[in-house]
């Protein structure tokens, strides 16, 4: 939950932070982008480090630095200083967010892994719904720095829980050599695989259609819908409800529907939801509830149903270096989301309709990348990992 919690908890405080730090609404979007881009830039290294040093060490070190960075955010006297500590938050948060997915695949495989990944997706979905509500409540008892002090407390709690409850799932006998060349080599192996790119972009682009709303939530909820700092739940609860429904469907489908069919059906559903969202954006009721949140919730159902299986497909392409695979995947996703939150949000958020159109373009691009992958796999079924999507999760292990 640490990744989305770090993004969404400060949203209700953006207005107060901007007034206190002398920043405009557009400049405050940098608070999101700085975290996401830093997370993305560091994400290629957390997984390989855990392949070499063990999962537990990397998680503990990353969350410890995250807690210190959160305190730095709370004490920041200016926007540049705040952004510097947000970068440090992004650089460290992946130690928990990325490596935890690799832990699942260390222990489970096949339908069982898919079901657990779906459950994790449901837990992941709770954070964006709870975080802005918590942020709004914290502002009732203190000024905006209290939000970051709370995030530091979450980090300290996670350190205690990991230290006491999480066993090491990647023993020394299975670890890769801790050499820079080996770490870069494992990343290069992943990056050179055409199938990896097709599946990673399918997941990243389709999720970007949903994340565009999450990253633009302060503008969407406050400026476009005219709501207040305690009203973020009106947007996040329907969207996260969609994520939880999609995750539930993904878990129920494990072992019953082939991965490729599940992903295809889920992404087609997301595309249908995106088109419904565009149509609703043309109506006079576009900026009113519940019409403004129906489309994003439908997109979330399809994205959440596809995402766990797409992650397992990527992990199974590289059984010897799963950390590198999940790191490269996270790198693509976070960089895409960070750039879109900064570069596209100011244009996309001019109206509810423009936001819906840009979201639909992302979803369509993700669906197109997946369909391209299916076509390529049929043409080259003998090639690994290009044919991995046609296998059940775990079949290559």
**In terms of residue numbers, what domain contains 345?**
2-390
Across 195-203, average pLDDT = 85
Residue 395: other Cβ atoms inside 10 A: 12
Average the pLDDT over each of 145-149, 169-173, 357-361 and give the range with the smallest value.
169-173
Is residue 253 within 8 Å of residue 393, measured between CB atoms?
Answer: no
Alpha-carbon 378 to chain mean position: 29
Percent of the chain scored above 70 by pLDDT?
A: 87
Asked if residue 146 has pLDDT above 70, the reply is: yes
Asked whether residue 397 is assigned to any structural domain, the reply reads no
CA distance 154 to 70: 10
Q: For residue 86, what pLDDT band results from cuts at 50, 70 and 90?
A: very high
Q: What is the pLDDT of residue 233?
A: 77
Residue 320: other Cβ atoms inside 10 A: 12
Helix axis angle, 79-107 to 291-317, nearest 10°: 60
Between 360 and 254, the more confident residue is: 360
Residue 136: other Cβ atoms inside 10 A: 20
Residue with tokens 């958020």: 349
Asked whether residue 133 is assigned to any structural domain, the reply reads yes
Asked if residue 127 has pLDDT above 80, the reply is: no
Is residue 335 within 8 Å of residue 37, measured between CB atoms?
Answer: yes
Nearest Cα neighbor of 295 from 341, 229, 362 is 362
Asked whether residue 214 is assigned to any structural domain, the reply reads yes
Residue 327: other Cβ atoms inside 10 A: 29
pLDDT, tens digit, 9 for 90 and up, residues 265-310:
999 999 999 999 999 999 988 888 889 889 999 999 998 888 888 8
Average the pLDDT over each of 202-216, 250-264, 307-321 and give the range with the smallest value.
307-321
Q: What is the pLDDT of residue 209?
A: 87
Between 250 and 365, the more confident residue is: 365
Nearest Cα neighbor of 298 from 312, 277, 328, 282 is 277
Across 350-359, average pLDDT = 89
Nearest Cα neighbor of 319 from 103, 114, 105 is 105
pLDDT, tens digit, 9 for 90 and up, residues 18-58:
888 888 877 887 888 888 778 877 877 777 777 777 888 88
End-to-end CA distance of the chain: 28
Asked if residue 389 has pLDDT above 50, the reply is: no
Between 113 and 63, the more confident residue is: 63
Asked whether residue 306 is assigned to any structural domain, the reply reads yes
pLDDT, tens digit, 9 for 90 and up, residues 305-337:
888 888 777 777 777 666 677 777 777 776 776
Q: What sign does the CA torsion over 287, 289, 295, 299 have? A: positive
CA distance 344 to 324: 29
Q: What is the pLDDT of residue 72?
A: 95
Q: For residue 183, what pLDDT band results from cuts at 50, 70 and 90?
A: low
Asked whether residue 395 is assigned to any structural domain, the reply reads no
In the chain, the number of structural domains is 1
User: CA of 289: how far to CAs of 207, 226, 286, 340, 360, in Å?
Assistant: 23, 11, 8, 25, 20
pTM of this structure: 0.67
CA distance 32 to 190: 28
Between 166 and 116, the more confident residue is: 166
Contacts of 35 (CB under 8 A, 6+ apart): 6, 7, 86, 87, 89, 90, 93, 338
Asked if residue 390 has pLDDT above 50, the reply is: no
Average the pLDDT over each of 106-115, 188-197, 336-345 and give the range with the smallest value.
336-345
Asked whether residue 396 is assigned to any structural domain, the reply reads no
CATH number for the domain that contains residue 309: 1.20.1250.20
Q: What is the pLDDT of residue 176?
A: 67
Mean pLDDT of the chain: 81
Asked whether residue 54 is assigned to any structural domain, the reply reads yes
Percent of the chain scored above 90 by pLDDT?
A: 23
Across 221-228, average pLDDT = 83
Burial (0-12, 13-18, 19+ Cβ within 10 Å), 378: exposed
**Would you give the DSSP letter of residue 389?**
G
Across 183-191, average pLDDT = 71
Asked whether residue 386 is assigned to any structural domain, the reply reads yes
Asked if residue 257 has pLDDT above 60, the reply is: yes
Asked if residue 14 has pLDDT above 80, the reply is: yes
Across 223-228, average pLDDT = 83
DSSP letter for each residue of 143-210: -THHHHHHHHHHHHHHHHHHHHHPPPSS-GGGPPP--HHHHHHHHHHHHT-HHHHHHHHHHHHHHHHH
CA distance 312 to 109: 9
Q: What is the pLDDT of residue 69?
A: 95
């Amino acid at each position: 939950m640490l990744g989305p919690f770090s993004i969404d908890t400060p949203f209700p405080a953006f207005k107060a932070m901007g007034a206190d730090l002398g920043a405009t609404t557009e400049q405050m979007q940098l608070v999101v982008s700085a975290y996401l881009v830093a997370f993305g830039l560091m994400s290629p290294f957390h997984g390989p480090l855990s392949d070499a040093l063990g999962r537990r060490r990397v998680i503990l070190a990353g969350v410890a630095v995250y807690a210190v960075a959160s305190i730095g955010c709370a004490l920041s006297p200016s926007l540049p200083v705040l952004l510097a500590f947000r970068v440090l938050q992004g650089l460290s948060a992946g130690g928990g967010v990325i490596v935890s997915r690799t832990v699942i695949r260390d222990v489970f495989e096949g339908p069982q892994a898919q079901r657990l990944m779906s459950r994790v997706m449901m837990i992941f979905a709770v954070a964006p719904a709870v975080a802005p509500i918590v942020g709004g409540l914290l502002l009732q008892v203190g000024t905006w720095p209290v939000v970051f002090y709370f995030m530091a407390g979450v980090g300290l709690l996670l350190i205690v829980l990991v230290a006491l409850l999480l066993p090491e799932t990647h023993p020394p006998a299975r670890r890769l050599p801790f050499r820079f060349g080996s770490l870069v080599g494992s990343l290069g192996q992943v990056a050179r695989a055409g199938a990896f790119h097709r599946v990673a972009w399918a997941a990243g682009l389709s999720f970007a259609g949903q994340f565009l709303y999450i990253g633009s939530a302060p503008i969407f909820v406050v400026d476009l819908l005219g709501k207040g700092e305690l009203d973020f739940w009106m947007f996040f609860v329907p969207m996260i409800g969609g994520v939880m429904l999609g995750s539930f469907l993904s878990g129920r489908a494990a072992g019953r529907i082939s991965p490729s069919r599940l992903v295809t059906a889920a992404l087609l559903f997301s595309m249908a939801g995106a088109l419904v969202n565009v149509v609703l954006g043309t109506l006079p009721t576009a900026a009113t509830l519940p019409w403004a949140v129906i489309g994003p919730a439908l997109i979330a159902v399809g994205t959440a149903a596809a995402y766990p299986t797409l992650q397992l497909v990527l992990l199974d392409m590289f059984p010897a270096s799963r950390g590198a695979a999940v790191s490269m995947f996270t790198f693509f996703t976070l960089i895409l989301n960070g750039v879109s939150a900064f570069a596209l949000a100011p244009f996309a958020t001019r109206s509810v309709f423009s936001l819906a159109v840009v979201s639909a373009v992302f979803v369509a691009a993700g669906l197109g990348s997946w369909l391209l992958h299916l076509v390529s796999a049929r043409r080259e079924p003998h090639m690994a990992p290009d044919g991995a999507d046609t296998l059940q999760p775990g079949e290559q292990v």
